[in-house]
Structure 1
Amino acid sequence: MTSAYILIAAVLLLGGVLAILGDHLGSKVGKSRLRLFKLRPRQTAIAATFLTGVSIAATTLGILFATSQSLRQGVFRLDEILAKRRQAQRELEQARDKLQKLEERQQTTNRDYQHAQSKLDRTSKQLDKLQSQVASLRSERQSLVAERDRLANKIESLDGKLKQREQKIAQQQQKLEASRNRLQELQGRQEQLKAQIEQREQKIAQQQQKLQATRDRLQALREQQQQLKAQIEQRDNKIAQLDEQIAQKNETLKQRQARLQDLQQELSLLQRRASRFRQEYQTLRRGDVVLPKDRVLASAITRIEKSSDAQQIVDKLLQEANKRAYRATRPNNNQVDERVIAITKAQVKNLRQKISDGREYVLQIRSDGNYVMGEDKVGVFTIVAPNKQIFGAGEAISTVSIDTEQMGRSQLQNRLDRLLSAAKFRARRSGILGDVRVETGTLALTNFFERLNQASAGQFDRIQAQAAQPAETAGPLELKLVALKDGKVVFSSSELGTNSPQAS
């Protein structure tokens, strides 16, 4: 836009300068009484002024055409641009019509699909009966396909004849047009040409009648072909539906076989676990277990800023785990003078690599079995998990239903134990590595149970364990027990006791 303003200003300024120069030149020529081509001085001045005006116009147009491509296109290619614009508008309207037709066709297809789905449900009940009909349908389909091919060949031959006749008609029409042009040029032979034109028009009418009869026959054949296609498609759909149902049965059988293999693998795993439990049982019989399985020997929350610090933190954690394992298996020896935990260099290297990415992690070293007093080595395994929020405050962790009218004291106790076990199980499964405990301890838990036992029938229908506050991976997860009626809180454990927290 700025360049256009500059161009207009330059053209106006140049026009003014050229006008001044033209006027000055005309005055000079008039005063000096010059003559050009034997003209009088006045006529010479008029000619000079005319040439100056022509120069102004030519210079202006030259500047505009030289500096503005859009002006050149607008002057010399305006008709072409308008034609392209009209063509684009027609194509846009055709595209919109096609889009509308496609949307209508999609809606029709959706309705047909829903109708076909309902038919599929009914057809699935008749699978056994239809399987016996598949062979006959397929043979009938082959005959219909052969009939369709025969009709298609016949239609192609008729199309060829129709095209030949149309070509003949076009030739006749061309000849008729030539005859009419000649009739206008030769007025004297009008009567003779009239007779010839009438004869040719009669021939054309006969050809058109034959063409129309051929078209009608072709249309009938096409309709017959469409009917055959529809019948073939219906049979194909039935066969496809039957094949799909058979495939579904086969898929179900494969899933059951895969499930059987999974159960066999699970049985093998359980047998191996049973063998391991028997070995641990023999270990328990030989002496008192001083270090049970899955005991946390060392734990830490760390964020490594430099990769060189990872070795120091891992070594410190291993030293703490070794100290606890040594004192547990050798309680009479207070001085730790040997390494008793068994861990591979690959485990230590993997631990360092996991915690060296700059994020905050929870590290734990746990015993991998039951150990008695005097064990030479204590096997351990490591747990590394990002320290992130697992549960938000007030988030429901586990829920069980309660019917105080039908349940006694022992059944209520079992329900409460099940609630706490489910909460602990979900917490472990979600990634909580620390303690899982009731928010305000034993007193609140006892008072909550007594309140449940003393409640009237229908006072509440569920009890729920919620996170008392946001809980991260490192823990602890403190639980708040709530009694609910139709989704509304009736009372909670936080209202019933303030004792110190205790592990559930």
Structure 2
Amino acid sequence: MSDVGLILILVVLVLGGVIATVGDRLGTRVGKARLSLFNLRPKQTAVVVTILTGTLISASTLGVLLLASRTFREMVLNFGRIQADLRATNRDLDKVTADLKTTDQRKAEVEKDLEQARSERAQIEEYLKRLNANLQVSVARQRETDAQLRRTEAQRDLTRNQLETVSQQALSLRNEINQLESEQQALIEQRDQVKAQIAERDAQIAERTALIEKRDREINERDQVIAQREAELKTLEQQRAFLVAAVQQIQQDVEQIRRGDLAIFRTQVLSSGVVRVVEQGGAKAAVDQLLQLANQTAIESLRLGQNNQQIVQIPIAEVQNLIQQIQDGKDYLVRVQAGANYVLGDDRGVVVNMSAVPNQVVFLAGDTIATQTLEPSKLSPQDFQKTLQDLIAASNARARVAGVMNDRLEVEKLLSLGSFIDQLRRYPNSIELRAVASDVTYTAGPLKIELVAVQDGQVVLRASN
């Protein structure tokens, strides 16, 4: 409360007290003097004086307030207008309060949508991570299946070509045999004619005899040629039967691959490892361990259950030659591969082959494996995903050509790949996407790559950042 207000209250209280005191004394004197006003009794006159005194107190108080306080004066004189303004202000306040509540509700909804969007983004990133992992597995399996199918179809086409060649040769031999038989028949008829004419042509006996002997020799030669052709025809028919059986087997393999019944592919790696022999007998121990791993892999692939028998088969001489090869103390990648195709449940034994190649450096860290040029802002999510798949497939193909024996390919920083893609899509101009070796890669693999975006020869974005 201000000083003016306090003084005003004090003045009102003092003035009221003074007026009340004056009124009281005036009433007392009027009563004692028994004065009369307006022809009233003295007692009624005293009452009138008292009423006038109270009225004067109220009037003086109101007058002091009206004169001293402009706010009070405006409030008393403009009470209706102030009350109307107050009601309008209350209505505006209610409206503002309602708008504030609506704004708060909208803010809550926006925050809820934002939280939901963040949750969906986290789910999308998790789904992208699983999708990349599944993609790697699917690409590897599809690559093995496609490679096996291509080899099988190539072998089938080669066998069919050989079969057609053998059939043509057999047809040609049959035509030659028929021609030789016709010539033989003609020679026999000629010989019979000569023999019939011997009696009539005694003078020509010597000449005809020589001619007959010549014809006989030709017949014998033709007989020998016919016998040789028949032997060749029999051999070709055996080859044809073998090739027909091989074609049927290849067709069965192709059908098994397409149906998914094939458990082990020909040349499939059942076990592998990098071996360096530093102790006497270490080579044999390493080879035995790889064969045991291959045996366990074969049992699991064929789904033979808890089967501890030795189903992997390999010639002892091949194992001994491999042991001799890897005993020089160098690093070798030793692989155990299936020698044929085997279906699920086949427990007749798995024939395998073993090979060893030096484990050498194929790529250094930072080497560019494959590149793709693209315009990120113009690509749909499907096209962008296909571009990444093509880049990964090209990297895998380059690794195989360069000598990496492991078909598995690892993409570094999968957790930040989603953020890398989001940032890459913001670039409006053409950009070069490179798959770069993130570590030294040996023959044994696997190849580890990192995705790098390059523009005008400068690296502008890395998946590892």
TM superposition score category, shorter chain reference: 0.3 to 0.5
**More RCO (CA 8 Å, sep 6+):** 2
* TM-score scaled by length of structure 2: 0.43
Q: Looking at CA atoms only, which structure, 1 or 2, has the larger radius of gyration?
A: 2
